[in-house]
């Protein structure tokens, strides 16, 4: 009765039934967005992630920390500045130069005084604010979230960040925007108490404390790529998605080897099964 076909459909049904657990949040329908790394066959685009790093460094890092990232990560395999010449990313000349541009707080071990020294690849990305209170004070009470795992920490992932960055919109007539806030149709929220129009047509989205961060030509790309808003946004999302899981490339490559191995092993075991059970009615 419970045949093989039923077993397969039961597996599928059970997995499909889990889908509501990650249903989308209340923001607007996300813009279509894709990255070169998408899917099992995705490829890492170092040039795009390099451009994205430049956007992060020149724009985002003024307010947002990335506490989980170290400069050495930029030079490790699958990192934007990986160079096969340097097995140890701490030796990567480009990464060293990037780190050196930053002043890092440290303690002088001779005197105990707080001093500043040039960064090294082993240092973490420095935090733009000394503490959470300073960060809130500088941003009208809102705390700019740490961006280390941001593409994994939001429903919709990269498409959500891209939509948010490029989705700032003229304020609909009838919507009262509080001082220091901006309307964004992709930000989750409930605008009904700020809406004076038709109560069945409350605009999608919410208020965000971040002013539109990107505009065309805000960042100039060294490889000559035209610096449109969409280009900057998709590049910085590519960088953030890499930063959220720098080992994702290694994961997918390992996955292929594992699946090929398991497929062969399954074939062998099936052949053994047929042979062992040959002649036994069951």
Q: Is 166 in the site for another protein (CB under 8 A)?
A: no
With beta carbons less than 8 A apart as the criterion, state whether 155 and 22 touch: yes
From CA 261, how far away is CA 271, in angstroms rounded? 16
Q: Which of 1, 84, 114, 179 binds another protein (CB under 8 A)?
A: 1
Torsion sign (Cα): 120, 124, 129, 130: negative
Q: Is 265 in the site for another protein (CB under 8 A)?
A: yes
| Measured CA distances, 272 to 41, 267, 269, 276, 277 (Å) | 32, 9, 5, 6, 8
Whole-number minimum distance, CB 206 to another protein, in Å? Answer: 11
Q: Is 246 in the site for another protein (CB under 8 A)?
A: yes
Question: 181: closest CA among 142, 144, 130, 153?
Answer: 142
Binding to another protein by CB under 8 A, coded x per residue (else -) over 62-91, reads: -----xx----x------------------
| Measured CA distances, 189 to 28, 65, 175, 194, 208 (Å) | 10, 24, 14, 11, 9
Q: Which of 5, 9, 14, 192 binds another protein (CB under 8 A)?
A: 14
Q: Which of 25, 88, 105, 220 binds another protein (CB under 8 A)?
A: 25
- Closer to another protein by Cβ: residue 13 or 134: 13
Q: Is 262 in the site for another protein (CB under 8 A)?
A: yes
- Closer to another protein by Cβ: residue 113 or 200: 200
Q: Is 280 in the site for another protein (CB under 8 A)?
A: yes
Residue with tokens 């960060």: 135
Q: Which of 31, 100, 169, 252 binds another protein (CB under 8 A)?
A: 252
- Closer to another protein by Cβ: residue 75 or 157: 157
| Measured CA distances, 40 to 37, 149, 241, 250 (Å) | 8, 20, 15, 12
Q: Is 26 in the site for another protein (CB under 8 A)?
A: yes
Question: 182: closest CA among 210, 221, 154, 220?
Answer: 210
From CA 206, how far away is CA 186, in angstroms rounded? 7
- Closer to another protein by Cβ: residue 27 or 52: 27
From CA 119, how far away is CA 98, in angstroms rounded? 8
Q: Is 2 in the site for another protein (CB under 8 A)?
A: yes
- For 164, the token pair is 């948010």
Residue with tokens 């930029």: 74
Q: Which of 9, 11, 29, 176 binds another protein (CB under 8 A)?
A: 11
| Residues 120-159 close enough to bind another protein by CB under 8 A | 145, 148-149, 152-155, 157
Count of positions on this chain that bind another protein (CB under 8 A): 56
- Binding residues for another protein (CB under 8 A): 1-2, 4, 7, 10-11, 13-14, 17-23, 25-26, 40, 67-68, 73, 145, 148-149, 152-155, 157, 188, 200, 244-247, 250-252, 254-256, 258-259, 262-263, 265-266, 269-270, 272-273, 276-277, 280-282
């Amino acid at each position: 009765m419970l045949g093989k076909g039923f077993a397969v459909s039961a597996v599928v049904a059970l997995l499909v039934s889990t889908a509501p657990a990650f249903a989308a949040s209340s923001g607007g329908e996300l813009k279509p967005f894709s990255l070169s790394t998408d899917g099992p066959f995705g490829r890492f685009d170092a040039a795009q992630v390099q451009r994205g790093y430049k956007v992060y460094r020149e724009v985002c890092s003024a307010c947002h920390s990335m506490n989980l990232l170290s400069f050495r990560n930029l030079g490790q395999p699958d990192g934007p500045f990986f160079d096969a010449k340097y097995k140890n990313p701490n030796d990567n000349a480009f990464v060293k130069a990037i780190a050196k541009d930053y002043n890092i707080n440290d303690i002088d071990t001779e005197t105990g005084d707080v001093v500043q020294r040039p960064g090294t690849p082993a240092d973490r990305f420095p935090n733009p604010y000394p503490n959470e209170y300073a960060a809130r004070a500088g941003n009208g009470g809102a705390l700019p979230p740490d961006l280390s795992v941001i593409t994994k920490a939001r429903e919709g992932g990269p498409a959500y960040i891209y939509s948010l960055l490029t989705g700032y919109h003229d304020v609909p007539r009838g919507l009262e925007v509080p001082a220091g806030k901006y309307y964004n149709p992709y930000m989750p929220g409930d605008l009904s108490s700020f809406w004076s129009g038709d109560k069945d047509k409350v605009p999608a989205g919410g208020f965000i404390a971040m002013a539109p961060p990107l505009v065309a030509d805000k960042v100039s790309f060294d490889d000559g790529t035209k610096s449109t808003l969409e280009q900057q946004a998709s590049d910085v999302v590519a960088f953030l998605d890499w930063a959220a899981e720098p080992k994702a490339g290694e994961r997918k490559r390992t996955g292929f080897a594992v699946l090929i191995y398991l497929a062969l092993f399954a074939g062998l075991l099936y052949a053994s099964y047929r042979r062992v059970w040959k002649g036994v009615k069951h």
